[in-house]
Amino acid sequence: MTLSQDAVVRTFMRNGRITVLPAKRSRRLMLFDYVAQMFDVGVRYSESEVNRILLRLHDDYVTLRRCLVDEDFLSRDHGVYWRSRGSMDL
């Protein structure tokens, strides 16, 4: 049985904040996809801008940022970040 992204978000977030990162990779990827949608496609963000956005979602924004980069939801080059993966509204 797989959970939908909505179910994953409901399970691992409270009051708009991540309570815990899922242990299962498939669920983590769904949560990361949700988080990636906080970043606009085609926009470049400084590290401090990324940190500010992620801190609203999770106290350990550094780990969350690293996970997003490691899983290719965000790309970075010389302190500049951009969204490189994730669902998009059409």
Q: 89 in a domain, yes or no?
A: no
* Domain tally, the chain: 1
Domain that holds residue 18: 5-80
CB-count exposure of residue 68 (10 Å: 0-12, 13-18, 19+): buried
Q: How confident is the model at residue 90 (pLDDT cuts 50, 70, 90)?
A: very low
Q: 21 in a domain, yes or no?
A: yes
Write down the pTM of the prediction.
0.88
| pLDDT > 90? residue 86 | no
Q: 90 in a domain, yes or no?
A: no
Q: Give the three-state DSSP class for 19.
A: coil
Q: 65 in a domain, yes or no?
A: yes
